[in-house]
Amino acid sequence: MGVFQQAVKGAAALPCYHPRIPLPHEPHPAMHRHTVHDDIDDFDDVGPSKTEQKKAMERLQALGERLGELRTERLRKMPISERLFVALEELKRLKSHEAIRRHKQYIGKLMRDENEEAILGVLNPLANPALNKQMEVLADRLLMQGDPAINDTVRRFAAAERHTLRQYVRSALKEQQLIGELPEDQQAAAEKPAHHKLLTYLREIAALTN
């Protein structure tokens, strides 16, 4: 067998590579549209920074101070623990500036174990139809625009924490995506706990900033 014939025979034994061509109903990889879901999923969840943690503590402390402004009769009706109630009543009796400052920090720590959503549902600033409507519009914008809207919200509301807000938005986006995969006749009745938590957080930072 000649050299040329051996080369041809060897080449025939090699596996042939055929690039896969997408079927007509399959989107071409290069045609993938970048969406807000990509931005949120690309977020490196390394946890809140020290600044974010400080803002979260200040937010809880500010909410505790709001409670401290309530009269005893109304405070008794709030969904709070007896421990927090006693601390809030003690705050009213303090006179020293330094003692008040330290006690407010203590109240902020106690707030970590309280049901923020239940408290916010009772406070007057959140029983505001106009504010609720504004926050619903803002929530829709956050879900549509992602990071640009998150940045605007953090600049607008001093009580907002970027990391916390992004977590709420990401959860609501994933929830929205799952609901979109349900049959159309089930989508309207689907529960939206993540979206509700996002709205609650927005109402809280709006009330505390104002």
pLDDT per residue as tens digits for the range 75-105: 888 899 999 999 999 999 998 999 999 999 9
d(CA 68, CA 88): 5
Q: Find, among 75, 85, 73, 150, the residue nearest to 111 by Cα.
A: 85
pLDDT band for position 150 (50/70/90)? very high
What number of H helices and E strands is found in the chain? Answer: 12, 0
In CATH, which of 3.30.70, 1.10.3470, 1.10.60, 1.10.8 is domain 128-205?
1.10.60
pLDDT band for position 4 (50/70/90)? very low
The segment(s) of the chain belonging to CATH 1.10.60.30 are 49-114
Q: What share of the chain is helix, strand, coil (3-state, %, to 5)?
A: 70, 0, 30
pLDDT band for position 130 (50/70/90)? confident
Pick 61 or 42 by higher pLDDT: 61
In CATH, which of 3.40.1160.10, 1.25.40.10, 3.40.50.1820, 1.10.60.30 is domain 49-114?
1.10.60.30
Residues 170, 43 contacting (CB under 8 angstroms) = yes
Q: Which of 16-25, 134-143, 168-177 has the lowest mean pLDDT?
A: 16-25
Residues 198, 169 contacting (CB under 8 angstroms) = yes
